Amino acid sequence: MLLQFEDFFELWPDILCIVGPDGCFKRVNSALRSLLGYTEEELLARPVADFFHPDDRPLNIQWQKVLGTGKPLVNLESRCLCKDGSYRWLAWNVCPVAAEGMIGASARDVTDYKKMIEALQKSHDFCLALIDGFPNPMWRSGIDGKCDYVNKSWLDFTGRTMEQEVGYGWIEGVHPEDLDRYVTTHLDALNAQKPFKIEYRLRHRSGKYRYILNFATPFYGRDGSFLGHIGSCYDVSGRKQMEQALQESETKYRTIFENTGTAMAIIEEDTTISLVNSEFEKLTGYTREETEGKKSWTELVVQEDVERMKEYHRLRRVDPNGAPRNYVFRSITKEGKIKYLYATVTVIPGTRKSVESLLDITESKQTEERLKQRLKMEKLVADISANLISLTPNEIDNGINVALRAIGEFAGADRSYVFLFASDRTKMDNTHEWCAEGIEPQIDNLKGLPTETFAWWMRQLKEFKPIYIPSVEELPSGACEEKEILQAQDIQSVLVVPLVHQRSLVGFLGLDAVRSRLTWTEEDITMLKIIGEVIANTLEHRRMFDTLQTSEARLASAQRIARLGSWEWDIAGNEVRFCDGTRRIFGLVPQKSGATYEAAINTVHPDDRKYVEESIAEALKERKPCSIEYRIVLEDGAERIVHVQAEATFDDLGKPVRMAGTVQDITERVKIEAALRESSGQLKRAIEETIRAVAKLVEMRDPYTAGHQRRVAELACLIAKEMGLSKERIEGLRFAALIHDVGKIHVPAGILNKPGGLYEAELSLIKMHPLVGYDVLKSINFQWPVAQIVLQHHERLDGSGYPQGLSADDILLEAQILGVADTVEAMASHRPYRPAKGIDQALEQLTKDKGVLFNPDVVDACLRLFTSRGFRFSDDDGSNRVS
């Protein structure tokens, strides 16, 4: 039996040994010897503790306690020293052998297991270190959903401890509004054992919630069993803020896009319209549904503009600056209407798309066209006026025909003409006519027409009303005769304005439309009336000239047949002897041809005798010739006017002895000269009426300065009178002042009436008006330097004026006076860009500028008018107030 135990002890595959009370091996089996590499003798010769790793030797004490307690120890691990110096891990089971006071022990080599455990621990530690070092928060939960681990990044993010987070502690940081959604998502994923992704808000250590994007993946055991989820979290607050900012930006820009007040559209590279706003719908008449993604913008463009728009579109995508950013084109609405649109186009950065802002400028374009038309018409009127004013009488007929051609072509008429009435207005003649190509002239058929035939027509003209008939067919029943003669000439539309001079109807100016109906505006009618005034004044000018020529011819004839006589006065004998011619002049019979001096004096008109006697006495006293004109009274009571020339001879003592001379009957000449003066006055009035018509043209374009030229003329003439200028110079100044702003016909009305400040270019244009006025007036043969006065009225004493920058004596005195009057009236009156400053402020400024900008003498004279003579600008009736 003992032998069998020995065999069992020796051959047992596990380590077996017996340790004595002295702590030394008493028996060891082959398994221990083989593992440690010692012989039995080597093992039995030394204490067991010598074979333990120094750190494990306290186990020997535990072994000894077994003897005291009698209780076995199980699975005591220690490292045992091998003969080669290495250590092996052994797992000991120790129990007492009471009968012998011994300890029995068995052991298994667990070195490989310990190495495996150590490797696993290292792997585990590595994984934990890796996860803890991962920058994103990470977590792990079991199949019950409880969290059993979070990494350092999670703890850093939340500012909490591991103990606070594990289990269900972590849900305390989830935003209350997101908690139910998260729990539901997580539980659904647990039940399905599937990954899940969720975005929710988690409280940051700062106390603020941040958006977290959570990716969770299932993990499994070695046997493939589902163990729970591992999750990785990403802080997407920045992205979320960007998304919110982007959404807000999109909302903002969509709001802007929708509410810019202009039509907006996004155009794709292939010209498809991808987005429009409500203004675009209103502008084009197409809805979003009809437009977005369905229409190319070329479908909305007038065909003539399409190629230009396509080229811009192409160039813009080659180079964003390669095509105009702003341009005008014509668009077709859904209803087929054509609109002018002002486009602002920009390529959206980083895309091939462009955004277009469209502004409907149709009304502005039409206004612009009307303004261009008006400027052309005003230039036409100015050119016609300047041309007709400067013509000689022999050139007037041709000048009127040239004007009719210009008027007809401008108005699109087929015929333009002038009719003049006889002095008694019983008949009328077509005196001037222009016809378009292919239109039959009517001038030869329209002579000596009785005006009574055209009663309706004449009633309108006598009331100085224009006659505008858009359709001859629609003439009233009371105009049957007019309708018949107009239709006989194939006239479809007609416009006629009366020709009036000094409130007297002298004829009419007309336009005919033959080939088709035409319409004319109120502005057209007004402009035609102004041209009519100019033509009427021009014709009156010629009539006055004809009258003047007739008068001059009569004067020449009178001079040729004038009765001239001689006489001789014997002073010593007091006898006056007359020749036959003298007798005829005085109505004397031959027997009475000799007379005394007293008798001769008695033939002189009583009112002129003193003048005659004093003149003769002065001639004798001063020993100089005598030349006098006076009235004589014939025996039948008739009065004649004579011109007497005489010279005396003297004796050696200087005493007059004889006076001889000639006498001429100048009665007819004086009458003719009076008539000439009247004709000259009428001619002057005709020129003045023409000038007033030109002034009215300026005031029509600038209503804020209506009456300005008249008031300036009024003040300028009084200043000139105060300074002692002659009547002739004052009259020339008056003419210049009445039309000193005629050059403003060159300036667009929008600039003249602009309520705000002017740009430099606009101011430069206004500063051209004296030069334009000079160009209009320089060819008119005034007897005064009117054109030069107008040219210089904005020059200043110090050379700071315009347009020539003249100074001091280089500026005409009349222009200096006009400049002062113009400045005072302008400051005292309202203007669109400022209220009236008043006379007091105007005079104060004038005083400051005295001697710098303005002639001191002129300023002093002006100040005296206002301060001493009580001058105030005239009322509308033209009467001024000055003492």
Tell me what the mean pLDDT of segment 409-414 comes to: 90
Percent of the chain with pLDDT over 90: 29
User: Binning pLDDT at 50, 70 and 90, where does residue 191 land?
Assistant: very high
What separation in angstroms does the CA of 861 have from each of 462, 727, 847?
47, 17, 12
Percent of the chain with pLDDT over 70: 89
Question: CA nearest 508: which of 567, 444, 446?
Answer: 446
pLDDT per residue over 204-248, tens digit each? 999 999 999 999 999 888 788 999 998 989 888 887 777 777 777
Mean pLDDT of the chain: 84
179 CA to centre of own chain? 59
How many other CB atoms are found less than 10 A from the CB of residue 744?
A: 24
Question: Which pLDDT value is given to residue 578?
Answer: 78
Reply yes or no on whether the pLDDT at 657 is more than 60. yes
Reply yes or no on whether the pLDDT at 555 is more than 60. no
Cα-Cα-Cα-Cα dihedral sign, residues 717, 722, 728, 732: negative
pLDDT per residue over 617-651, tens digit each? 998 888 899 888 888 888 888 888 888 888 988 88
- Give the least confident one: 602-606, 682-686, 804-808: 682-686
Question: Which pLDDT value is given to residue 848?
Answer: 93
How many other CB atoms are found less than 10 A from the CB of residue 297?
A: 24
Question: Which pLDDT value is given to residue 748?
Answer: 75
Question: CA nearest 418: which of 383, 451, 443?
Answer: 443
pLDDT per residue over 353-366, tens digit each? 888 888 888 887 77
Strand, coil or helix: 818? helix
What separation in angstroms does the CA of 378 have from each of 363, 375, 440, 748?
22, 5, 29, 10
Is 692 in contact with 723 (CB distance < 8 Å)?
no
Question: Which pLDDT value is given to residue 754?
Answer: 73
Question: Which pLDDT value is given to residue 593?
Answer: 46
Question: Which pLDDT value is given to residue 450?
Answer: 92
pTM over cut 0.75: no
Question: Which pLDDT value is given to residue 511?
Answer: 93
Question: Which pLDDT value is given to residue 317?
Answer: 79
User: Binning pLDDT at 50, 70 and 90, where does residue 764 land?
Assistant: confident
Question: Which pLDDT value is given to residue 878?
Answer: 44
Reply yes or no on whether the pLDDT at 881 is more than 50. no
Reply yes or no on whether the pLDDT at 420 is more than 60. yes
Tell me what the mean pLDDT of segment 668-676 comes to: 76
Tell me what the mean pLDDT of segment 317-346 comes to: 87
Burial of 423 (0-12, 13-18, 19+ CB in 10 A): exposed
Tell me what the mean pLDDT of segment 842-854 comes to: 92
Reply yes or no on whether the pLDDT at 591 is more than 60. no
Reply yes or no on whether the pLDDT at 250 is more than 50. yes
Question: Which pLDDT value is given to residue 877?
Answer: 43
Is 111 in contact with 82 (CB distance < 8 Å)?
no
Question: Which pLDDT value is given to residue 560?
Answer: 47
Highest mean pLDDT among 548-552, 663-667, 872-876: 663-667
Tell me what the mean pLDDT of segment 871-875 comes to: 78
